[in-house]
Amino acid sequence: MRDVHALAPAHDRLRLSRVGVTAVRKPLVVQRPGRQVTLTVSFSVAVDLPSTRKGSDLSRNAELLAEVVDWTAQKPVESLESACSSIARELLVRHPYATNSEVLGEGEYFAPRGITPARRSLEDFRLFAEANATRSENGEIAVTRSIGAEAVGMTACPCAMETAREKLEKEFPLLADPSLKTLPIVTHNQRNRTRLLFDLPEGADVEVDQILEAIEGAQSSPTYAILKRGDEADVVLTAHRHPKFVEDVVRDLLASLPSRFPRLPDATGVRVRTVSEESIHKYDVTSSHATTLGEIRTAAA
């Protein structure tokens, strides 16, 4: 059969930066310390296409994904990003006409959480990995990797808390008593989704569980599936004792990274995005920032 993809294209001077498959859903079995977990991942993989070629051989992408990912049922991989890196590198082997490849994996990850050990259950988080491979002139392939995660937690607004106190002190004069100065005051609180991604220099590595801990540590409070009557109040009180704007979530998360990830090099890229699904509005509030660990360390010095 004639290989239609290998024909010259009609417009023969236009290269394309990306051709691939997307929304390929796969179960990826990952070996975590002490347990195996199955991530349900949506993969997007692509390579570039030179101007001399009509089409990319996309069946190779599907084959490669099946080889790498399906096989993890027998032999789990170390992590989502190690799977993405392998796929990115191998894409350039199987598409010899390509000079760069991109692999994105986004998966659901269940990890145990509980306000006490007795209340522990599996809760859902999201993981992200990106890998880009480049073939140099001499044929060597270099791969860069990013790894990230998203956690749902809670934010309580510091501004409405302060204005509510002002209004309440007029109605309840006793509230101004010094002994009630630190009494948590009503405000709006809501679901907050925060994601943190690291663009890793070669050799650097990071655990997704640590990423999730960093995120949850920067929200007003983590949230939990199982909360008995008294526990609910504890979460509420924690959140109201740590009221945060979306701006605070991003800054507190960024500021926590040097101590949480002391071994990551200065060149590590850092991307944070947070979204609060405001309880007092029908729309969401968001903040984002991209920087490097080096810049954060300098700012904190």
Residue type, 147: I
Spatial separation of the C-alpha atoms in residues 253 and 178, rounded to whole Å: 32
User: For a copy of itself, which residue of 75, 170, 263, 282 counts as binding (CB under 8 A)?
Assistant: 282
Specify whether the CB–CB gap between 199 and 146 falls below 8 A: yes
Site for a copy of itself in 91-130 (CB under 8 A): 108, 110, 120-124
Residue 214, token pair as written in the block: 């960093």
Per DSSP, the three-state class of 47 is strand
Q: Which is closer to a copy of itself, CB of 158 or CB of 265?
A: 158
Site for a copy of itself in 142-171 (CB under 8 A): 152, 154, 157-160, 162-164, 166-168
User: For a copy of itself, which residue of 8, 14, 142, 267 counts as binding (CB under 8 A)?
Assistant: 14
The count of chain residues that interact with a copy of itself, using the rule CB under 8 A, is 122
Site for a copy of itself in 46-85 (CB under 8 A): 46, 49, 51, 54-56, 58-59, 62-63, 65-66, 69-70, 73
Specify whether the CB–CB gap between 283 and 206 falls below 8 A: no
Judged by CB under 8 A, the stretch of 14-22, 90-98, 127-135, 136-144 that binds a copy of itself is: 14-22
For residue 195, state whether it binds a copy of itself (rule: CB under 8 A).
Answer: no
User: For a copy of itself, which residue of 8, 142, 267, 290 counts as binding (CB under 8 A)?
Assistant: 290
User: For a copy of itself, which residue of 16, 93, 141, 204 counts as binding (CB under 8 A)?
Assistant: 16
Judged by CB under 8 A, the stretch of 78-86, 174-182, 208-216, 259-267 that binds a copy of itself is: 174-182
- Shortest distance, position 31 Cβ to a copy of itself, whole Å: 14
Residue 236, token pair as written in the block: 């509420």
User: For a copy of itself, which residue of 8, 142, 267, 300 counts as binding (CB under 8 A)?
Assistant: 300
Per DSSP, the three-state class of 199 is strand
Q: Which is closer to a copy of itself, CB of 152 or CB of 200?
A: 152
Q: Measuring CA to CA, which residue among 173, 268, 285 is closest to residue 211?
A: 268
For residue 266, state whether it binds a copy of itself (rule: CB under 8 A).
Answer: no
Q: Measuring CA to CA, which residue among 252, 300, 298, 241 is closest to residue 274?
A: 252
For residue 260, state whether it binds a copy of itself (rule: CB under 8 A).
Answer: no
User: For a copy of itself, which residue of 187, 195, 200, 257 counts as binding (CB under 8 A)?
Assistant: 187
Give the 3-state DSSP-derived string for 109-136, with helices as H, strands as E and coil as C.
Answer: EEEEECCCHHHCEEEEEEEEEEEEEEEC
Binding mask 212-231 for a copy of itself (x = CB under 8 A): ---------x-xxxxxxxx-
E strand or H helix at 195, and its extent? strand 189-200
Residue 251, token pair as written in the block: 């800054």
Specify whether the CB–CB gap between 80 and 30 falls below 8 A: yes
Q: Which is closer to a copy of itself, CB of 89 or CB of 188?
A: 188
Spatial separation of the C-alpha atoms in residues 262 and 58, rounded to whole Å: 41
Specify whether the CB–CB gap between 131 and 190 falls below 8 A: no
Q: Which is closer to a copy of itself, CB of 120 or CB of 260?
A: 120
For residue 27, state whether it binds a copy of itself (rule: CB under 8 A).
Answer: yes
Instruction: Classify residue 51 by its DSSP letter.
Output: T
Judged by CB under 8 A, the stretch of 34-42, 81-89, 132-140, 208-216 that binds a copy of itself is: 34-42
E strand or H helix at 103, and its extent? strand 100-113
